[in-house]
Every structure is written in structure tokens, then in C-alpha cells.
Structure 1
Amino acid sequence: MEGVCSTKSDVYSFGVLLLEIVCGRKNNSFYDGDRPLNLIGHAWELWNDGEYLKLMDPTLNDTFVPDEVKRCIHVGLLCVEQYANDRPTMSDVISMLTNKYELTTIPRRPAFYVRRDILDGETTSKVPDIYTYSTTISSSCEVEGKV
């Protein structure tokens, strides 16, 4: 978002890829009429509601291990956390995915979490007020907006 790429940018991308694999859909083609969110927002809300298995690709039917799916979603959400410093390293990601120990780190709000509400047939994006910013455009003009 700030134009600075780092190893944590790669971790974020891997997290999105992991969530795409679990749900069987691309991030840019994701839309659910019942929960109008982007993929990351949809995964985040299902996780918080304890309904993370609803994220699964429906074509898999019962051919998956629920604990492994939970682990993949958990790790995916850790990878897409809002602040890059809070994201795990790739070596930690590999360890979390390959070892069977219980994950104790709780995912926090992901980056680019945008909730869309449908009002009278129109879709609007909502971002929490904590992301309000103020930008000075000229010495005499100030504009407020949402990130």
C-alpha cells in the first residue's frame, strides 16, 4: 500500500493464496450475496463467527480433514494481518503448516479488510472509523477521507 515491498509482502501474498486454495476461488472473483465481502473479509468474519468450515470449497464434500482446514485458514489469516510486523516469517509459516502443535497466536484484523453493505441495490464499502485520515492538499485546503 505504501509502495514498499518486503518479505512480509510475500507472506501476505502467500496468505491470500492459502485462503484461495481453501475456498477454491480466486481472490478477485470472490463475492457472496449473503456476506458481501472480499475474500479476506469473508474468511475473517467466518473465523470470528466460528464458522470457518463454510469457507471450504464445496466440491471437496467430505474429503478433507477439518483440523487441517482450520490450520490452513488460521495460518492464512495470520499471514494477512494488517501490520506487516505482526505477520509470521515464511519459515514460521512452514513450521505452522507442517507441525501438529496447537497454534496459540490469534489472528487480528487483516489488511485490506473491507466490508461492503448493500443499500437499496447499491454496494458501498465501509471501513472502520479508526482508518480515518487527514491529508493536506495545499497550504490552505485540508481534505478528510477514509483509507
Structure 2
Amino acid sequence: MSLVKFKSRPLENLISTDFFDNDEFFGSKLWNKKLDEPALNIKETDDAFEVELAAPGFEKKDFDVTINEGCLNISAESSKSKEEKEDNYTRKEFSYNSFEKRLKLPDSVKEEDVMAKYKDGVLSFNLLKKEDSKKLKPKKVEIV
């Protein structure tokens, strides 16, 4: 006879274990609401930081981007509805999607020159660096 650890979690009986690994579903991945945050890439170059935020399904007008107290605040909200009426039924569909993301900007970023672009589901930012904080090219020192 073998012993099996019993795990009691809310709603566990409502979810088919054939499709979900219960440890992942009820663990930190889904229950912590972090799945609603879009994926983010940050790349540093000599002159700027390049930020890409994956946000498919939104339109430009859905975004609200501000810079406040050294933070880049990005939020988006989108809702859509569709109603179809036939002789003996009415079908309504709706969706709602939103997220908020806050990034602490380094002191080296020129806040007044931040530029954003939204194309093909990716919100891109170009965060230019201040002149005094740009990386200097290595200088070759001659040995005499």
C-alpha cells in the first residue's frame, strides 16, 4: 500500500485534472493575478533603453501612459460587445481586458523625451539617456 498526499484546495473539484496540473493552477502562477500582466522586454543600448510590452487585442486609444515621480505608468482597458437578435433568441457576447504596469525609471533617462509606438500588438518605448550618463566608448591607452 502506498500513501498519497491529500491536497484540499477551493474549486479543485470543478476543474478537470486532465487539463490542469493542480500544483501549477492553484499555486503561484494563476491565483496571484500576475497572468494578466503583459510580457515585457527591456534592452539597454549606449544611448537608450528600449522597452517592448506585448499587448495584443488593444488599440492605441485604449492605452494611458504617464510618467510620474520617476515611474513609467502604463495601463490599458478594452471592452467589446456584440449582440445578435434572431426570431426566437438573442445572443450577446462581450469581453473585457485590462492591465496596469509600473516601471521605475533609472535616473539616467530623459523623462521629457520618452517616445511610444504601438504596432502589431506590441507597445514600444524608446527611453533616451541623458548625455552625462551615456556609456563612453573604451579609450585605447598607449603604453610607452
Q: Which has the higher helix share?
A: 1
TM over 0.5, yes or no?
A: no
TM-score with structure 2 length normalisation?
0.24
What's the TM-score, normalizing by structure 1?
0.23
Structure with bigger strand share is: 2
